[in-house]
Amino acid sequence: MELYTKSATELGRMLRNRECSAVEITKASFSRIAGVDGKVQAFLTLNEQAALEKAAEVDQKLAAGEILSPLAGIPVGIKDNICTKGVKTTCASKMLHNFVPPYSATVIQKLENLDYTLVGKLNMDEFAMGSSTETSYFQKTANPHDLTRVPGGSSGGSAAAVAAGEVPLALGSDTGGSVRQPASHCGIVGLKPTYGSVSRYGLVAFASSLDQIGPMARTVEDVALLYGAICGQDVMDATSASREYPDFTKSLDGGVKGLRIGLPKEYYGEGVNSDVRDAVLQAVKALEAQGAQVVDVSLPSTPYALSAYYIISSAEASSNLARFDGVKYGYRTPEYKNLEELYERTRSEGFGDEVKRRIMLGTFVLSSGYYNAYYKRGKLLQQKTAEEFAASFNDCDLLVTPVTPTTAFKIGENISDPLKMYASDILSVTVNIAGLPGLSVPCGKDQGGLPIGMQLIGPKFSEETLLRTAYTYEKLIGGFDPIPTL
């Protein structure tokens, strides 16, 4: 078996047993990229030379008998909205086409301390706004399971790279489903952690109160490994939670006996494709057979959550993206006569339409006379949604839902209809709205052979339970599908 097909956990084991070297692992990753990324187009920037140097350093450390972390020498791809010092970080936008951060995100520093290998930066929807990775200024990423289809988004590059075997691990970010939805479309595992469990310092903000960085991999164990490496309180992020986290890889084996699985009826409604619904319910049955109990629950505010999500996220985005003005970094329009022209032209030329649309919406809902009608109502609905989730967890330990109503759509199919595009987020945004953890787990394929994902949602800081449940399922079905042939 080729090295590129192996999981990070397996590669780490092989490395420690001297069955292969870090340089070999890194080379395998870059050779896979060279072979398939022309089709998949997941990477925006490759970091090959530095990665090989890093791998050589890991090999030297191992040779010197140093005990290294399980992530040492493991190739990781990073979504291009996470700042990497000295390595271009574009947010897939013309606005930051040349931006080289002078600092690294906290998650990057943590991974560096564990001797990971930065393979490169991954494509995404511009500023993480989108569900298909089609709003990238640079390129369209293809779904490795069907190159005519989108990988989902906004972390489409991350999902595609992992699914295509270019890297065993990737980081994405999730504001309304941007880790879980592409993971689902690409048949991999993706975790949107509890808000506040992973530092956002260095993640270029889309919607500060909803954004979380999340791990993506082909196995549950790998997701647990990467999540354990990046979570934890950070003094640089005032919204990060103060608590201790366990080693998530140590508690995967516990099984699901007695676990109460809630099925919120609002998540299985008409809009959900029947293949998707059947596959998720099939997976629930399988867990039930392992001793889990299934209960019906209701989350009545769900139909309204999408509008609350678009108001809150756009409002925050309109403010977060105001700093891109051609003054301090990034794109500046070549022609301007005065300050106002510099601002307007830079921003109009530097941002794509989807970003502009959200900035406009956000500006509007915050503007004088509309704040109470829109933004405030959105925030009130957010509170109500969170309360409903909290109440549902009195009756169950976790919820299982589909991640998205459909499997991956064709490239170009929805891009001209933002509302249709937004509707695909309806099952995932509530998790961000309520600040909960959500795990996307592959659970079969539709009639066209496209991956389907189920979403496990738990109370705050219940990642251990989510991962254990997913791991149980993964073992039960004998592992997820292998990397598709490309």
Partner 1 sequence: MKDYEIVVGLEVHAELSTNTKIYCSCKNSFGSEVNSNCCPICLGMPGTLPTLNEKVVDYAIKMGHALNCTINRVCKQDRKNYFYPDLPKAYQISQSDIPLCEHGYLDVMLDRQGTMKRIGVTRIHIEEDAGKLVHDDSFAGSLVDFNRCGVPLIEIVSEPDMRSSAEAKAYLDGIKAILQCLDVSDCKMQEGSIRCDINVSVREKGSETFNNRVEMKNVNTFSGAVRAIEYETKRQIEVMEAGGTISQETRRWDDVKGVNSLLRSKENAEDYRYFPEPDLLTIVVPEEKVEALKQSLPELPHHRLLRYMNDYRLPHFDANLLVENLEKAAFFEDCIAIGGSQPKSITNWLLGDVSRILNEKNWVLSQSELTPENLMEMIALIESGKISNTTGKTVIKVLMEENKKPSVIVEEKGLVQVSDSSVLEAIVDEVLANNLKLVADYKGGKTNVWGFLVGQCMRASKGKGNPALLRELLEKAIAKL
Partner 2 sequence: MNIDIKRVAKLARLRIEEEKLDKFEREMESIVAMVENLPELTDKAVGLDPSRPMGLREDKIRPSLKRGELLANAPQTQAGCVVVPKTVE
Binding site for partner 2 (CB under 8 A): 98-100, 102-103, 235, 238, 242, 301, 304, 306-308, 310-311, 318, 322, 325-332, 336-345, 347-348, 351, 353, 356-357, 359-361, 363-365, 367, 373-374, 376-381, 383-384, 418-419, 422
Angle formed by the axes of helices 220-230 and 463-476, to 10°? Answer: 160
The item of partner 1, partner 2, none sharing an interface with residue 304, based on CB under 5 to 8 Å by kind, is partner 2
- The active-site residue out of 27, 54, 79, 121 is 79
Q: Measure CA of the first residue to CA of the last residue in the chain; give whole Å.
A: 16
Residue 303 burial by CB count (10 A; 0-12/13-18/19+): exposed, middle or buried? exposed
Q: Which is nearer to partner 2, 384 or 445 (CB)?
A: 384
The item of partner 1, partner 2, none sharing an interface with residue 371, based on CB under 5 to 8 Å by kind, is partner 1
- Please report how close the Cβ of residue 115 comes to partner 2 at its closest, in angstroms: 25
Residue 154 appears among annotated catalytic residues: yes
Element (H, E) at 408: none
Element (H, E) at 365: helix 353-366
- Please report how close the Cβ of residue 201 comes to partner 1 at its closest, in angstroms: 5
Q: Which is nearer to partner 2, 330 or 484 (CB)?
A: 330
Tell me the C-alpha distance between 64 and 43, whole Å.
33
Residue 420 appears among annotated catalytic residues: no
- Please report how close the Cβ of residue 445 comes to partner 1 at its closest, in angstroms: 37
Question: Looking up tokens 């509007």, which residue turns up?
Answer: 364
Give the chain's largest Cα–Cα span.
Answer: 70
Which H, E and C letters describe 46-78, residue by residue?
ECHHHHHHHHHHHHHHHHCCCCCCCCCCCEEEE
The item of partner 2, partner 1, none sharing an interface with residue 89, based on CB under 5 to 8 Å by kind, is partner 1
Distances (CA, A) of 474 to 75, 204, 443, 454: 23, 33, 9, 12
Residue 31 appears among annotated catalytic residues: no
- The active-site residue out of 7, 154, 313, 314 is 154
The item of partner 2, partner 1, none sharing an interface with residue 205, based on CB under 5 to 8 Å by kind, is partner 1
The item of partner 2, partner 1, none sharing an interface with residue 281, based on CB under 5 to 8 Å by kind, is none
Beta strands 398-402 and 260-264, pairing class: parallel
For 409, the token pair is 């759509």
- Please report how close the Cβ of residue 141 comes to partner 2 at its closest, in angstroms: 24
- The active-site residue out of 178, 240, 392, 462 is 178
Confirm if 188 and 442 have CB atoms less than 8 A apart: yes
Cite the active site residues. Answer: 79, 154, 178
